[in-house]
Amino acid sequence: MIARTRTAVNRTVLGAVGLSLFLAGSWLTAADPAFADRLPTWWPTAGTGAVLLDGDRLAQLRGEGWWTPTVVTASIGLAVLFALWSLGQLRSGRARRLALPSPGCTVRPQALAEALATRVAPLPGIAHSRARVLPRRRQRLEVRLRVWLEPDTPPDAVLPALRTATAEADRAATPYTARTRVRLSAAPHRTRHVR
């Protein structure tokens, strides 16, 4: 849930920034005489040599008592938000170590993921697999298991073995509670080439 929210926020912010840059660039392009003649009549155009805020208007705003504190506060707020967002992007579950029940014992989430993928790969009907383990709050783990089935293998044939493997992984992750999501895909048929 947290990963989906983070992805949605990232895409929304990226889309908003991209759209605003596109609109600003389009508006500024309209100021160039070479492009202004080709634009439709309804397009808002800026006059030649137009600026977003001229010197006189900027001096008038600086004379207002609210202008400087507002600009400083907004700049600091945006910088703090950007720093928090950047730290949130850098903080990934792969770098953390998970504490095990034995004193002083830890394990990397990537090691758990590799062990699960290695355990699942030789099961009958599975071409190959990939796993990812992401630590969450309150001693929870999110396990994402991607499995590619051999051609013509129905999912029903591998589900019991996958349930057993994921149950073993859940027990191995104690004291953490694991929430496992399995994604099944069909491996493509290999076409034989005649030489």
pLDDT tens by residue, 160-185: 888 888 888 888 777 888 888 888 88
Q: What is the mean pLDDT of the segment spanning 80-94?
A: 72
Q: And the tokens for 126?
A: 């599975």
Q: Pairing mode, if any, of strands 126-136 and 98-99?
A: unpaired
Q: What is the mean pLDDT of the segment spanning 116-130?
A: 88
> In which band, very low, low, confident or very high, does the pLDDT at 83 lie, cut at 50, 70 and 90?
confident
185 secondary structure, DSSP code: E
Q: In 3-state terms, what secondary structure has residue 52? A: coil
pLDDT of residue 100: 76
Q: Are 141 and 177 in contact (CB under 8 A)?
A: yes
CA distance linking residue 157 with residue 125, whole number of Å: 7
Confidence check: pLDDT of 63 > 90: no
Q: CA 70, 76, 82: angle at the middle one, nearest 5?
A: 130
